[in-house]
Structure formats: C-alpha cells, structure tokens
C-alpha cells in the first residue's frame, strides 16, 4: 500500500495544524487542488528567497565550498534544506534499513495529502522535524553559543575511571568476581588447567590470593572470558534484568558470539550508587546485545563495499587484493593488514563492530586455539607483505584485526620483523629505479588495538621492548611514524591499569592516538569532551570520532549525523588548536608532558585533534553532507561528498556522492536520550544541523614530506566495473 494513503494520527494532525497556523504561506501553497501547482508555487517561492541571499546561491553553485559554508547563517541552513527537499522531492532511495527496499522523500506531498485528505503517512517525527525547520528559516539568531561553564558542567556529569570512589567500587567488583571464580572452580564449573589451578588442600584465602596474582596475567582473562549469558548472569551478581536476559537467550539461539573478560566486566556498576546511576551506559551499550542487532544477525550486509572481495576482481575502490581476509584497501597510500593469528580476534566483542559482517561470515571469531598461527603462516606472511613491497603507492600499513595486540609477543615480533624486511627491500629496490619512477617507501606503521581498554594487562615490558627495538631499527630505513591506535569510547574505561598500559606504550617511543565511536550513550552532552580531556592527561591524542555506520542492526547505537555536527560546533570547538601550536608534540616525543604544557599555555580544556567522520561505502571517510530528503517517519536522507583533502582511488571522482538513509529520526534519538536521563532542552538546536563539511586533518597526523620523486603510476588496480 502506498504510504500516501495512510491516515495521519491525531497527534501528527495537531502539530501539522500548528505548522500551518505559524506559516500561512505554506497553507496557501498546499491549499491548491492540483499538487503540481502547489509544487511549482513552492519552488518559485524558495527561488525568490534564494535570490535574496547571495551566500546561499553561491553555496549551491560551488557545492559545499568550505569558505562559503563558514559564512552561512542559521536561517540559510534551513533555506538550503527546503531547496533540497523540493529538488529531490518525489525520488526514492535504496534503504537497507528495510531490507534494500526504497524509501520515498516527498515532504511537500505529505503535507498536501494531509491537508486535503488527512492522509500522506506522515508520522509525528516527520512533522516535528518539519516544524523545527520552518521555525529555523525565520530565525534571526545564529547557532547556539555554548559557554565554557556550560561545557564543564556537562563534562562533570560523566565520571572518570580514575575517580577515587570509582576505583574503590571497581576493586570491590574485582573481589566479587574473584570469589565467584573460586566458587565455580571448586564446583568443577571449569575444565582443569595446568596453569590456573589450586594445589590440593589450599585454603580459601590461598585460592583468592592465587586468583589475584593471575589477574595480572592477560592470558588468564582470555582463558576464562565469559562466552554465554548464563555465566555472565552469575558474575554480574544476578543484576541483569529479565528483559536483558530474554535478549541474551534470543541472541544465543541466533548464534551471536559473546565474549567479555573479567577485567572489563569489573568496570560495570551492578548496584544503584549515588552519582553513578547510568555512568556505565557507554560500556553496557558497547558490549551487550540490543534487539535490532539480534533480529538482523544473519542478514547483515557489508556496509563498506570494499570489504566485498573476490579473487581476481577489483573491490569497489578498484583495488586488486590477494584474498578476501588479510588485506583491505580503500586508498592509494594505506592498506589494512589482518594477520592469520590470534590478532583476528579481540579482547571483547563490540556490538557496533564494523566487522560484524566478518563475524557473521565466520572470518572473525573467538576460537582462540584455532587462531594460533600455524607453521605455514611465516611463509604466507612474507607472501602477503610482498603486496606492500611491490605496490607503487603504499607507504602506510595498519596492522589490526580483530586486534593487533591479541597476537602473542612472539607472533607480533615476527610480524614486525617481516614488515621491517619488506620495507628495507622496498627502499633498496628504489636505488635502481630512475627519478620519477621510484615506488613510495614505507613511512608509517600503525597497530590498531583496544587491549589497553579490554585487557590492559596485555601491555607488558616484553611488548614495550619489541616496539622500542622495532622503532630504533625501522627509523634507520626511513620509517618515521609509529602509532598505536587505541579505542577508548568513554572516560569510564580509563582506569589505573589502562593508565599504566598507555604509559608503557608511550615509553616505547610510539605515539598513542584514539578512535572513538559516537554511539547514543557516547553522544550525550559533554561526554566526548570529557573523554578527550582524560585521554590528553594520559598523553593520548584523539584521532577520529566515528559516526556509527551500518543499517538496522546498529539502529540502537546509531546517532543522527546532525548530533555530530552539533558536537563539533557547540562542544568540540573549545579544544580547537592551530597546527603550529601542536608541532612540539611530534618534535619532542614526550607526549604526556607536551600535551599538558600546550593545554596550560593555551588555556584549553582539551585538544580537539580528532576529526568527526563516517566511513562511507566506496568514498572513504567523510562528514561532508547535506540533508536532501526525509522519510515519512522522520528519518533524514543525507548526500555525502568525499573528503577533498586526501588522495582517493582513481575510481573516486570529485563529483561522486553517496546517499544514506539514516536508521532513526532525530525525534527517536531524543527519546532515547531522555530515557538515559538527559534534558532534551540541552539539544534544542540539533534539528538545525542539516549540513557539515569534513574537518581538516591535523598536521601531526599527516605523512612526512617525501624527498624522493615517486612515480604517479598505480598498480594492483583495475578500472573494470567493481563487483
């Protein structure tokens, strides 16, 4: 049945009548008996308004010019959105949130049908969004100005894992978990282990002391990680609600993997404590299933088209790859390397994982024994790295997974040694190549990991020595940037143990950066600001803040992109800093003290060095978007353009765009926040952020200048139609 034939609810009708009362011109337009006449009148009226605003006209002609964008008024945003609604009105867009069906955007027609017939299918969220839009177009003011006092008040709402009271609470959690482990061990719940067993006749005190010592061994946390909801229920002191247990049962029947270790479990608050109610929501939402994910598992499609790989055929970005699981590539200069080791797994399962598609396919899993590298891996490792060696443009390798630090020290040492030898051979081969035909040499090595969060005990002295030794010799062959990319999503994840882990990593001479995911809980006012503040204290530079990607499976954690834009303009901007004031961080490599000195000298609450982006299918990372449509249930339709400041595959053209139908309306999102204890009035301007341009990358994260004249040729590439 056509959505336009559905009646609107009494609540929707009330808000529509309010809109018409406040906007008599709109009523005159839609009162025409012929919709096409109404549509024509609306377009003419908007064209007249645009002619009166040169900045808006210039923005339309120059298509997202950053300089013009900066000069747009709050009312201009609204005018541009109405212009887009009329321009794209009547079009349908593929909507993978509803199993690849198409969603219609025709807001004027919805109004017209509602006015004439009481139909049109418009939901309350649709009319609410439109009401805010028509208020905005008449606005005299600019975007809301948040004071530093407001920001600090919001930040104060979010505790840090370094707070003294929280350290005490988590130590109590640790003791509870240890006592429960001893109890279950005595009952024969676990299979006998040579390494983690109690001697005959051991007293309860002795057993507890033994487990306390095992707690410092990351292997203990992996060995006894909780893999089913019944065991989880016991270790969380039976604090899970009946509703949550029902979800876990359903997930178990669907075959969803589950994996959480004792350390990370100890971060959860199981009792209602004053000052900490809801404080662990970002953690719970990150590791506990939600209904959308459970329902969609088994039907999840790859968000990133580049992840769909077939031997001998190019991926969506045009790159030819050795296989479909070890190397992923989107850009000319960097590729992801996923080793066949325990690095294919993680210290825990993040429910919004960008590789949930691979978990569904079985490429990633938590069968740790099966993931241990086989004898043939050493040979395969060398073969796979020849891809980087023989590529003319690759100069950056991101070793991840899974999680790069899930690999043992021995395995990681071997991987880094092979990366070193590959880089050395690539550099030596360039000596014979003429100027202008030389290959790009490796200049950056990165390790992606969440182990400082999930199991900080993994960062031991042996690992530090491996990293330190690799850097010392790799610098001699021209590799200049050594980066550990962590994944903290909340200040609640920062603990004394993670602080020690970060300090150890920094002592190796590697820079530590952070990538956060902007989930619903993380998106609360002041939360990201608090995370940046706490990370800076550790000597960590924020690198990316990602919009949650995916379709219906990630709807619960998805945040409308308008909220990212709002965070940038109203919170993040307090930490903005010019590149020239950041350079001492890379020059001295004393990250903790240098960051502290910069903050004090510039009187900044934090360093906002991260870029807000979404990983887009085929286009790469960008947050350059405009709202071009809206569904009848209020979900926005966004047109994204690629980041013009970085190199892309030749497949990507400057005019290329990706259209995304968001998985929830702003009204839906605000209701979620309200349930999480937020004051909705704190987010009043969110509806107005209908466009954004991707922020510039900070100089500290850019590649060093190349002294050699590199060939412009590209290999491992095909212009054949991607699969």
For residue 349, what pLDDT band results from cuts at 50, 70 and 90?
Answer: confident
Say yes or no to pLDDT of 69 above 60: yes
In the chain, what percentage of residues exceed pLDDT 90? Answer: 79
User: Contact, 161 vs 170, CB < 8 A?
Assistant: yes
Say yes or no to pLDDT of 130 above 90: yes
What average pLDDT does range 320-324 have in this prediction?
90
What average pLDDT does range 571-587 have in this prediction?
91
What average pLDDT does range 49-73 have in this prediction?
89
> 356 versus 574: which is more confidently predicted?
574
Per-residue model confidence (pLDDT) at position 507: 97
* Bridge partner list, 446: 398, 483
Lowest mean pLDDT among 169-173, 204-208, 361-365, 691-695: 361-365
Cis-peptide, bond into residue 402, ω within 30° of zero: yes
Locate 388 and state its tokens: 């980087």
DSSP string, 673-703: HHHTT--GGGGTTGGG--EE-PPPPPGGGSP
In the chain, where are the structural domains located? 3-148, 164-278
Per-residue model confidence (pLDDT) at position 1: 54
Per-residue model confidence (pLDDT) at position 365: 64
Say yes or no to pLDDT of 715 above 80: yes
User: Contact, 426 vs 441, CB < 8 A?
Assistant: yes
Lowest mean pLDDT among 205-214, 612-621, 684-693: 612-621
What is the C-alpha to C-alpha distance for residues 639 and 632, in angstroms, rounded to an integer?
Answer: 18
Classified as helix, coil or strand, 484 is: strand
Instruction: Give me the chain's average pLDDT, please.
Output: 93
Q: Express each pLDDT in 621-668 by its tens digit.
A: 999 999 999 999 999 999 999 888 889 999 888 778 999 999 999 999
For residue 227, what pLDDT band results from cuts at 50, 70 and 90?
Answer: very high
**Secondary structure tally for the chain: helices H, strands E:** 29, 15
What average pLDDT does range 489-509 have in this prediction?
98
| E-strand stretches of 41-147 | 91-95, 101-105
What average pLDDT does range 383-407 have in this prediction?
96
What is the C-alpha to C-alpha distance for residues 693 and 707, in angstroms, rounded to an integer?
Answer: 32
For residue 721, what pLDDT band results from cuts at 50, 70 and 90?
Answer: very low
Per-residue model confidence (pLDDT) at position 375: 62
Q: Express each pLDDT in 543-571 by its tens digit.
A: 999 999 878 899 999 999 999 999 999 99
What average pLDDT does range 105-122 have in this prediction?
98
> What phi and psi values does residue 541 have, to the nearest 5 degrees?
-100, 125
For residue 377, what pLDDT band results from cuts at 50, 70 and 90?
Answer: confident
State the distance between the two ends of the chain, measured CA to CA, in whole angstroms. 33
Locate 194 and state its tokens: 């040579």
Per-residue model confidence (pLDDT) at position 212: 98
10 Å CB burial of residue 461 (0-12, 13-18, 19+) is exposed
Q: Express each pLDDT in 169-190 by its tens digit.
A: 999 999 999 999 999 999 999 9
The residues, any chain, with a CB within 8 Å of residue 421's CB and separated by 6 or more, are none
Locate 172 and state its tokens: 């109590």
Per-residue model confidence (pLDDT) at position 722: 42
pTM of the model: 0.95
User: Contact, 42 vs 107, CB < 8 A?
Assistant: no
Per-residue model confidence (pLDDT) at position 144: 75
Classified as helix, coil or strand, 442 is: coil
For residue 306, what pLDDT band results from cuts at 50, 70 and 90?
Answer: low
Per-residue model confidence (pLDDT) at position 517: 97
């Amino acid at each position: 049945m056509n959505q336009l034939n559905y009646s609107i609810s009494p609540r929707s009708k009330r808000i529509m009548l309010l809109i018409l009362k406040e906007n008599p011109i709109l009523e005159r337009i839609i009162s025409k008996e012929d919709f096409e006449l109404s549509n024509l009148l609306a377009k003419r009226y908007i064209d007249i308004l645009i002619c009166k605003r040169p900045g808006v006209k210039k923005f339309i002609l120059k298509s997202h010019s950053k300089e013009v964008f900066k000069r747009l008024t709050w009312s201009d945003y609204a005018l541009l959105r109405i212009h887009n609604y009329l321009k794209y009105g009547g079009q349908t867009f593929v909507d993978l949130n509803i199993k690849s069906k198409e969603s219609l955007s025709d807001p004027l027609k919805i109004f017209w049908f509602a006015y004439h017939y009481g139909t049109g299918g418009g939901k309350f969220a649709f009319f609410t969004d439109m009401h805010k839009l028509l208020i905005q177009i008449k606005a005299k003011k600019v975007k809301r100005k948040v004071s530093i006092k407001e920001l600090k008040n919001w930040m104060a709402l979010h505790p840090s894992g370094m707070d003294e009271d929280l350290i005490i609470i988590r130590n109590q959690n640790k003791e509870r978990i240890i006592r429960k482990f001893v109890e279950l061990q005595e009952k024969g719940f676990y299979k006998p282990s040579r390494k983690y067993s109690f001697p005959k006749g051991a007293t309860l005190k002795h057993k507890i002391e033994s487990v306390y010592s095992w707690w410092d061994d990351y292997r203990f946390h992996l060995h006894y990680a909780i893999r089913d909801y019944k065991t989880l229920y016991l270790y969380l002191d039976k604090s899970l609600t009946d509703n949550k247990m029902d979800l876990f049962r359903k997930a178990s029947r669907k075959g969803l993997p589950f994996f959480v270790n004792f350390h990370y479990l100890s971060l959860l608050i199981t009792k209602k404590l004053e000052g900490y109610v809801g404080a662990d929501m970002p953690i719970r939402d990150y590791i506990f299933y939600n209904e959308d994910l459970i329902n969609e598992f088994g039907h999840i499609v790859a968000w990133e088209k580049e992840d769909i790989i077939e031997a001998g055929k190019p991926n969506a970005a045009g790159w030819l790859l050795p296989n479909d699981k070890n190397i992923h590539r989107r850009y000319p200069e960097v590729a992801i390397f996923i080793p066949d080791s325990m690095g294919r797994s993680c210290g825990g399962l993040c429910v919004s994982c960008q590789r949930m598609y691979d978990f569904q396919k079985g490429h990633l899993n938590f069968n740790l024994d099966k993931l241990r590298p086989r004898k043939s891996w050493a040979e395969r490792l060398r073969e796979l790295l020849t891809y980087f060696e023989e590529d003319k443009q690759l100069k950056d390798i991101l070793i991840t997974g899974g999680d790069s630090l899930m690999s043992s020290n021995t395995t990681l040492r071997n991987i880094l040694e092979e990366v070193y030898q590959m880089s050395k051979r690539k550099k030596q081969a360039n000596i014979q190549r003429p100027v202008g035909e030389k290959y790009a040499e490796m200049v950056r090595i990165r390790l992606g990991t969440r182990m400082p969060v999930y199991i900080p005990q993994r960062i031991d002295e042996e690992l530090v020595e491996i990293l330190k030794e690799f850097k010392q010799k790799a610098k001699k062959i021209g590799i200049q940037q050594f980066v550990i990319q962590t994944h903290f999503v909340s200040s609640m994840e920062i603990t004394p143990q993670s602080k020690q882990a970060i300090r150890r990593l920094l002592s190796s001479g590697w820079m530590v950066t952070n990538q956060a995911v902007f989930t619903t809980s993380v998106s609360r006012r002041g939360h990201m600001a608090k995370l940046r503040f706490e990370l800076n204290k550790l000597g960590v530079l924020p690198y990316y803040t990602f919009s949650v990607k995916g379709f219906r499976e990630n709807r619960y954690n998805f945040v409308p992109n308008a909220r990212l834009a709002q965070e940038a303009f109203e919170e993040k901007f307090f930490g903005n800093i010019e590149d020239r004031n950041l350079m001492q961080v890379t020059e001295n490599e004393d990250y903790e003290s240098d960051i502290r000195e910069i903050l004090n000298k510039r009187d900044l609450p934090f360093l906002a060095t991260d870029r807000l982006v979404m990983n887009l299918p085929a286009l790469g990372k960008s947050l350059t978007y405009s709202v071009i449509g809206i569904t009848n249930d209020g979900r926005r339709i966004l047109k994204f353009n690629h980041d013009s400041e970085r190199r892309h595959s030749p497949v990507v053209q400057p005019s290329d765009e990706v259209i995304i139908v968001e998985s929830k309306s702003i009204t839906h999102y605000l209701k979620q926040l309200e349930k999480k204890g937020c004051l909705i009035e704190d987010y009043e301007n969110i509806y107005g952020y209908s466009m954004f341009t991707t922020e510039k990358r900070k100089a500290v994260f850019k590649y060093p200048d190349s002294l050699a004249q590199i060939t412009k040729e590209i290999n491992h590439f095909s212009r054949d139609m991607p699969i």
